Amino acid sequence: MENFTKYLILWLQFCIFAVLIMSFNLNIAPKLWLKRSLLALSLLTACRILFIFYLYPYLNGAPLSQLPLVLLWGVLFDVQAMVYFLIPFHLLSILPLKNHSNTFNAITRFFFILGCMLMVLLNFIDLEFFKIKTRRSGIELFQLISDPANPILSYIFNYWWLLLLLIGIAVLLIFLYPKPHANPAPASLTSRLSFFFIALALLFMGARGSFDIKPLRSFDAAAFVDPQWVAATINSPTQLLTSYSTRTPKKVEWLSEQDERLNFNPIYYSTPTLSKKPNIVLIILESFGRDYIGCLNKEPRFTPFLDSLSKEALVFPHAYSSGTTSMESLPAIFASVPSLLEVPYINSTFQNNTLKGLHHYLPYDGYDCSFYYGARNGSMGFDNFLKISGNIQYYGLDEYPEPKKDFDGHWGIWDEPYLQYFANQLGSKQTPFFSSVFTLSSHDPYQIPEQYQGIFTANELPIHKAVQYTDHALRMFFKKVWKMKYFDNTVFIITADHPSHSVNEYFYTPTGKYEIPLMIYAPKLISSGWNDSITASHTDIMPTVLGLAGNEQSIFSYGKDLMKGKNSTAINVDNGMVQLIDYPYCIRRYPDGSFKMHVQPKYTPNTRIRYTLTPNEQIRQKQLEKELMAKYQTYINSLLINHFYLD
């Protein structure tokens, strides 16, 4: 609802500014500028209609009932594209000049037609590009064009009809371009300056397309329409703009296809873990690094409740996050896709790729799927990512019953009242259910409610008091849950999105900076224990959940079912170097293509990392080198062809 409201307000402001511009009756220039801009928008709408008509079979059964919404919200993305691609035209059109010469008018028309044709060309390319990769083309298109092996002339020959249509549109634009009056009435300087500043404000609004800190992105289309319609709602110029700041990786050919599959096969067959389907609750703790968890440090820290809970849980002490930000964690946790790009997947040019995550598979097993996050709807793109990766009910700040009462003044709802709300919500779910909650109080600026000031203290770092508060919120959550009817048949998986600050230098080492808690708590269903023989990561959560849910099918996964006792490895990128962790080993690939493996037991500082390997460890290094290359090669190449899923 928040997304709808803020964009509706934006639409109203567009209309108000347009009316103001049209009120400048003393000068025809504002009206001409608006007419020409409307012509460009009409052209982009026509491209969208052609896209839908031509590619509807490739839109995965997108519901036709949403077609009006697609056309309506698509204009918002068209405005953004029109502003950027017609910048020279806009600036020339709104300059507060008294008169425009014929040469000036000709230059303005040239930049208008050039910008329009660039936008049409990008949309036309996607009429065929989309069939192959099922997503709009971004900045990677230029890499494709610049590839010497790419047969550009062959494309032109094969799709000659698009070239003819492009030429026809250019001719039509020249004919339809609104021309100025022969002798326009002069306008006062005040009128010209007023128009100039109002037009600048309108262009600024159009370029951003949003009131958020971040401008409108192609990814945001999922907030307005079903995921199947996202590609039709956006346009190719917008996708290009979204991906402009992101470097597109090139195809990786470190190994032959045979060696790649020999060392890593992403096809994982899920098998049932339990005799009957349990409810599954996934709790993701904001910024909870291993450093804060007492049971993982063999000494009291800041989580007395989690420490007590771990005694009845199955604990994986060698667990690693996919990255160091929240946005990097979600694709890994919910779709078993690690974070190996220079930017988070959610912000990358591949953000609209097809993913089949937990919320795609679990509904087929009869699960009611939901995600709870007490932050503002749209925060960090979580809701859009989850909608694209599966069938999900998203609950954010908009859905919380008393947002003003429990708002923390920064991010959203305090953890304690939100987890109480979450516990009550679970009681109303249809069983079996899979529901996730993402906490937020342990996020910077690490504030806690007034009533707990002095009870939870900062100790060495400000985050410590916030961790203590969230641990207390978990205690109160489980006190309520233990009394609920659904508890006995519910599995609770507790992990964190990523670590945070530490006073211990170990937690800034190549492996320490990714260490997080991971435990499975279900005292009525799963035996407690301490599994220190397995290296685990975010990417293992999806296959583990599917196994618990009784799923029996092949999935695309970078992890393994931890309940089956098979060792996994954690892959991530640290300072531009791809690394693979198989505790206590960590192997890294350097930019020059060389590898180096080190041995780093827990709490070993960088100065004491062991690089001298035994003969057996040297053999293990060669195995991990191949696995790292295979995993990274599969990742990048699967992204490029949009195939992070099984057909």
Q: Which two tokens stand for residue 570?
A: 């954690």
Average pLDDT for 149-170: 75
Alpha-carbon Rg for the chain, nearest whole angstrom, is 28
pLDDT band for position 211 (cuts 50, 70, 90) = low
Domain boundaries, the chain: 2-243, 257-640
Which pLDDT score is estimated for 56? Answer: 84
Query: What is the distance of C-alpha 63 from the center of its chain?
Result: 24
Euclidean distance between the first and final Cα of the chain, in Å? Answer: 34
Give the amino acid at 452.
Answer: Y
Q: What is the DSSP letter of 186?
A: P
pLDDT band for position 219 (cuts 50, 70, 90) = low
Reported residue count of the chain is 647
C-alpha closest to that of 462 among 496, 502, 416: 502
Range in 90-99, 214-223, 565-574, 636-645 with the lowest mean pLDDT: 214-223
Read off the pLDDT of residues 341-399 as tens digits, 9 standing for 90 and up.
877 888 787 888 888 999 999 999 999 999 999 998 888 888 888 988 888 899 999 99
Instruction: Supply the pTM of this predicted model.
Output: 0.76
Cβ pair 511, 586 in contact under 8 A: yes
Cβ pair 80, 241 in contact under 8 A: yes
Read off the pLDDT of residues 166-177 as tens digits, 9 standing for 90 and up.
899 999 999 999
Which pLDDT score is estimated for 1? Answer: 44
Give the side-chain half-sphere CA count within 13 A for 533: 6
Question: Mean pLDDT across the chain, nearest whole number?
Answer: 86
Cβ pair 45, 172 in contact under 8 A: no
Does domain 257-640 match CATH 3.40.720.10?
yes
Average pLDDT for 153-171: 81
The angle subtended at Cα 585 by Cα 579 and Cα 586, nearest 5°, is 15
C-alpha to C-alpha distance for 219 and 212, rounded to whole angstroms: 14
Q: Is the peptide bond before 449 cis (omega within 30 degrees of 0)?
A: no
Query: What is the distance of C-alpha 604 from the center of its chain?
Result: 34
Q: Which helix (H) or strand (E) holds 582?
A: strand 577-582
DSSP reduced 3-state for 615:
helix
- For residue 401, which phi and psi values (nearest 5 degrees)? -70, -30
Cβ pair 183, 102 in contact under 8 A: no
Average pLDDT for 313-339: 94
Read off the pLDDT of residues 242-281 as tens digits, 9 standing for 90 and up.
766 556 788 999 999 999 999 999 999 999 999 999 999 9
DSSP reduced 3-state for 269:
strand
Read off the pLDDT of residues 516-573 as tens digits, 9 standing for 90 and up.
999 999 999 999 999 999 999 999 999 999 999 999 999 999 999 999 988 889 999 8
* Antiparallel, parallel or unpaired: β 577-582 and 570-574: antiparallel
Which pLDDT score is estimated for 154? Answer: 60
